[in-house]
Amino acid sequence: MSTQGRYSKIDKLGEGTYGSVYKAQSISTGKIVALKRMNIPPEEDGIPATTLREVCILREMRHENIVELQDILFQMPKLTLVFEFVDYDLKKYMDLKGSSLDPEREVKHFLHQMLCGLQYMHIRSIVHRDIKPQNILISKELNVKLADFGLARIDGIPVKKYSHEAVTLWYRSPDVILGSVNYGCSVDVWSLGCIFAEMILGVPLFNGKSDADQLIKIFTHLGYPTSSSWPSMHVYPKSKALLEEKMASMNAKCLQENLYARQELAVLGAHGLELLKRMLCFEPSQRISVSEALNHPYFHNHSRETIHSLHSRKAKPR
């Protein structure tokens, strides 16, 4: 099979409501690529605004830690985005490895690259809004690429309303769970904090089944927030329903499993735990920024030489 005579499909990598993703080969160069074939609903008069937004954002970004958009193919009712091919996503990488990742060779190295990619975006006021393991790509050389910008927004540019459903539930910050629609770059930092812990623990940090259950999972590990730790906790649309009613008896049950006392996380050291705490801060305005995180003492021994040494090794998830 070929796509407009330019790419030959090799394998189907995934499928969702948006369409399908294929591994393919350029007929002219032989280069392996990833095709994201997007379905355009019949009722749409042209390309949907969300798709146009993703394309516009991708075309403006050129960074080693952001997946590269190489080509665009359009033939109604299909729009195909052609990306560089990357071997794994982080979820698949961790599943294949079957255990938590190495604290230095993988966790610190991956987190540093994720933060570099986000810093490039946040400096340009672009919020990813869907940071999760499936949207973080890992090459065999241990290079990290942020991917899937279908929910990305430019912070500060008016839109009808930011959706509080944007970020996948397990990686959704408490303020977004409570219905915040004015959030910014801090939502990406919370999501990345969840992934930081997940890379060590080997399992998702907060795996709630609903908004209320997700908050319970968060408070069980981090403690029930106070007006000091989360000054804005009562200003959100769902604060009353979720905090004052469903969580009324929650306070005494919190910290049953204090996250920062877990033995598995001890490998992060004092600096790593402190960085994790600042990423998982309840108050959005007090959450550490990606630029601050990159300058955190946790990364002070992550030198250029270390990075070069890590890059010279091939990934062996199995």
Q: Which residues are catalytic?
A: 130
Distance between CA atoms of residues 132 and 155, nearest Å: 20
Burial of 216 (0-12, 13-18, 19+ CB in 10 A): buried
Q: Report the C-alpha gap between 289 and 286 in whole angstroms.
A: 9
Q: Tokens 């108050």 identify what position?
A: 283
Query: Which of 287, 307, 278 shows the shortest CA–CA distance to 144?
Result: 307
Give Cβ neighbours of residue 281 (< 8 Å, ≥ 6 apart).
229, 287, 288
According to DSSP, the residues that pair with 81 across neighbouring strands are 36, 72
CA distance 85 to 92: 15
Partnered with residue 19 across adjacent β-strands are 16, 38
- Taking the CA atoms of residue 148, residue 151, residue 156 and residue 161 in that order, the dihedral angle to the nearest 10 degrees is 180
Query: Are the beta carbons of 80 and 38 closer than 8 angstroms?
Result: yes
Q: How far apart are CA 221 and CA 253, in angstroms?
A: 10
DSSP SS3 for 282:
coil
Measure Cα distances from 156 to 64, 152, 159, 183 in Å: 25, 13, 9, 10
Report helix, strand or coil for 209: coil
Instruction: Locate 38 and state its tokens.
Output: 């997007």
Residue 157 — φ and ψ, nearest 5°? Answer: -90, 120
